[in-house]
Structure 1
């Protein structure tokens, strides 16, 4: 049975890679003016925000498991956790706003272009924060990243 560290390692790529894919789907939908594609991007964002809950919760437990182990850069745990909290909140807000948009503009209603642009901007923020969080997390146990960062 995998422990919380395994679960964290299995799921932590979803918010980063998933949101990059969702962003590309959204951009495609905006440029093609296809409401269904934009709606798909919003649905996927809601899904990824739910996955982020698992990532966040498993990360808390994982940090307790790895503290004191050989090869762990403990100085990076707190910065990673702090950035993860910020990134997670922005992800939850973005996912929540996407859910609100899906509810308000359900059925045949078109999602206004202004709303799509707001989602576009929020997704850039989420991708940036999640990417930096992942970078900090990689420095906890990956010496090849630590060397590169110096």
Structure 2
């Protein structure tokens, strides 16, 4: 198993887990169920860990595929630049997730409502970046995605 294998195995986890955790957090917010919020916070932390793994296996994957005929160097570079932003937002969201786990355990803590709104907005932005990065990653190998959109 090489970096390309690992990259392909783990790259969907941060995208799916961030979006899933966002929905769980929204459910916890609207139903006032702290166990949902806690699950979402843990999800954000795990998604951040997988985003880091995905990012750092990307260079190895690039080294493997860049010399194969039919791969676009520009597509790889676009994906890599988007991945840098995705990684940063995922890490930030993971840090906020840790804050939610350890500090905002109780909805009576001062600043709780503001924290929840901020983490929801951050999760939306992180999800958008992760989806876009995944889309660009798909463009590297899946030429059927080329539609003139980018």
TM above 0.5, yes or no, is yes
Q: Which residue of 2 aligns with 1:145?
A: 145
CA shift, 1:113, in A, is 2.2
**Shift of residue 3 of structure 1?**
0.9
Structure 1 residue 148, shift from structure 2 partner? 6.3
TM-score normalised by length of structure 1: 0.91
Is 1:117 matched with 2:108? no
SS in 2 for 1:138: helix
CA–CA separation in structure 2 for the residues paired with 1:31 and 1:105: 16
Give, in whole Å, the separation in 2 of the partners of 1:123 and 1:40: 14
Moved >2 Å (runs of 4+): 147-150
Over the aligned positions, Cα root-mean-square deviation in angstroms equals 1.5
CA distance in 1, matches of 2:51, 2:87: 7
Q: How does 1:16-95 map to 2 (within 5 A)?
A: 16-95=15-94
Calculate the TM-score normalised by the size of structure 2: 0.91
Q: Shift in Å at residue 71 of structure 1?
A: 2.0
Partner of 1:97: 96
Structure 2 unaligned segments of length 5 or more: list them: none
Find the counterpart in structure 2 of residue 134 from structure 1: 134
Q: How big is the shift at 1:79?
A: 1.1
- Per-residue deviation at 1:147? 4.1
Q: Would you say the 8 A contact 2:93–2:119 is kept in 1? A: yes
Please give the secondary structure, in 1, of the residue aligned with 2:146: helix
Structure 1: runs of 5 or more not aligned? none
